[in-house]
Structure 1
Amino acid sequence: MTATPRNVALDRLRSFVTLLVLLHHSLLAYHPYAPPAAPFNAPALLWTAFPVVDSVRLPGAEWVVGFNDVFFMALMFLVSGLFVWPALARRGAVDFIGERLLRLAVPFMYAAAVLAPLAYYPAWRISGGGGGGLGVLAFLQDWMRLSVWPAGPAWFLWVLLVFGVLAAGVYALAPKAGAALGRRLTGQKPIVLFGVLAGLSALVYLPATHTVDPQAWLSFGPFFVQISRAPIYALYFVVGIGMGAMTFEQGLLAPDGPLARQWRDWLVSAPVVYVLLVAIQMGLAKAQGAAASTDIWRIAENLAFVASCAVSCIAFLALFLRFFKRGGRIGNSLSRNAYGIYLVHYVFVTWLQWTLLDRPLPAFEKALIVFVGAVLLSWLTTAILRLIPGIARVL
Structure 2
Amino acid sequence: MAATSATPSERLHFVQWLRVFLTSLVIAHHAGQPYGPTGGEWPVSDPANTGILGAFFGINAAFFMGFFFLISGYFTEASFDRKGPAAFLKARLVRLGIPLLVFTGILFPITVYAFSQPPKSFSAFLIQDYFGRLDLEFGPLWFVAHLLLYAVLYAAWRLVAPAPRPDHGPPPLGLGVILGYALALALVSVFVRTIYPQDAWVRLFWLIPAEPAHLPQYASLFVIGIVAARVRWFTELPGRTASAVFLIGLAALFLAGLFDYGVLPLPGFLDMNLIWGFFEAFVCVGMILGLLALFRRFLDRPGPWLTRLEGNVYGAYLIHVFIVVALQISIVDLALTALAKFAIVSAAAIVISFALTAALRRIPPVRAVI
TM-score of Structure 1 vs Structure 2, range by shorter chain: 0.7 to 0.9
Q: Work out which of the residue numbers 43, 52, 66 in structure 1 matches 2:44.
A: 52
Q: Which amino acid aligns with 1:211?
A: I
State the SS of the aligned residue for 2:213: helix
- Confirm or deny that 1:95 pairs with 2:79: no
- Confirm or deny that 1:212 pairs with 2:196: yes
Determine if contact 2:31/2:342 at 8 Å carries over to the other structure.
yes
Offset at residue 110 of structure 1 (A): 1.4
Cα separation, partners in 2 of 1:142 and 1:374, compared to 1, 3 Å: farther
Offset at residue 376 of structure 1 (A): 1.7
Cα separation, partners in 2 of 1:344 and 1:222, compared to 1, 3 Å: farther
> 1:240 is matched with which residue?
225
Q: Which amino acid aligns with 1:235?
A: S
> 1:15 is matched with which residue?
20
Cα separation, partners in 2 of 1:269 and 1:335, compared to 1, 3 Å: farther
> 1:271 is matched with which residue?
250
Determine if contact 1:118/1:347 at 8 Å carries over to the other structure.
no
Give the TM-score taking structure 2 as reference length.
Answer: 0.86
Matches within 5 A, 1:93-172: 93-117=85-109, 120=112, 123-124=115-116, 129=117, 145=129, 148-172=135-159
* Aligned length, in residue pairs: 360
Instruction: Write the distance in 1 (CA, Å) between the matches of 2:156 and 2:348.
Output: 41
Deviates more, 1:157-166 or 1:341-350: 157-166
Q: Which amino acid aligns with 1:78?
A: L
Offset at residue 342 of structure 1 (A): 0.3
> 2:59 is matched with which residue?
67
Determine if contact 2:312/2:357 at 8 Å carries over to the other structure.
yes
State the SS of the aligned residue for 1:53: coil
Offset at residue 81 of structure 1 (A): 0.7
Q: Work out which of the residue numbers 332, 342, 345 in structure 1 matches 2:317.
A: 342
> 1:377 is matched with which residue?
352
Q: Which amino acid aligns with 1:240?
A: G
Cα separation, partners in 2 of 1:165 and 1:386, compared to 1, 3 Å: same
Q: Work out which of the residue numbers 166, 169, 183 in structure 2 matches 1:183.
A: 169
Instruction: Write the distance in 2 (CA, Å) between the matches of 1:225 and 1:366.
Output: 30
Q: Which amino acid aligns with 1:183?
A: G
State the SS of the aligned residue for 1:215: coil
Q: Which amino acid aligns with 1:197?
A: Y
> 2:35 is matched with which residue?
30
Determine if contact 2:38/2:54 at 8 Å carries over to the other structure.
no
Offset at residue 213 of structure 1 (A): 2.9
Report percent identity of matched pairs: 27
Q: Work out which of the residue numbers 214, 219, 226 in structure 1 matches 2:211.
A: 226
Determine if contact 2:8/2:229 at 8 Å carries over to the other structure.
yes
Cα separation, partners in 2 of 1:140 and 1:313, compared to 1, 3 Å: farther
> 2:3 is matched with which residue?
none
Offset at residue 82 of structure 1 (A): 0.8
Instruction: Write the distance in 1 (CA, Å) between the matches of 2:180 and 2:91.
Output: 30
Q: Which amino acid aligns with 1:236?
A: L
Offset at residue 313 of structure 1 (A): 1.4
- Residue deviations 1:1-34, cap 9 Å, x none? 9633431111111111111101110111110x35
Determine if contact 1:86/1:245 at 8 Å carries over to the other structure.
no
- Residue deviations 1:194-216, cap 9 Å, x none? 22531332353233223333332
Q: Which amino acid aligns with 1:73?
A: M
Offset at residue 307 of structure 1 (A): 1.5
> 2:298 is matched with which residue?
323
- Residue deviations 1:21-56, cap 9 Å, x none? 01110111110x358xxxxxxxxxx6xx22212111
Give the TM-score taking structure 1 as reference length.
Answer: 0.81
Q: Which amino acid aligns with 1:149?
A: L
Q: Which amino acid aligns with 1:94?
A: A
Unaligned runs of 5+ in 1: 36-45
Instruction: Write the distance in 1 (CA, Å) between the matches of 2:263 and 2:43.
Output: 28
State the SS of the aligned residue for 2:170: helix
Higher relative contact order (CA 8 A, sep 6+): 2
State the SS of the aligned residue for 1:224: strand
> 2:234 is matched with which residue?
253
State the SS of the aligned residue for 2:197: coil
Determine if contact 1:30/1:54 at 8 Å carries over to the other structure.
yes
Determine if contact 1:349/1:374 at 8 Å carries over to the other structure.
yes
Instruction: Write the distance in 1 (CA, Å) between the matches of 2:90 and 2:275.
Output: 43
Instruction: Write the distance in 2 (CA, Å) between the matches of 1:295 and 1:108.
Output: 39
Offset at residue 328 of structure 1 (A): 1.2
> 1:38 is matched with which residue?
none
Report the RMSD for the aligned CA atoms in angstroms: 3.0
Determine if contact 1:284/1:298 at 8 Å carries over to the other structure.
no
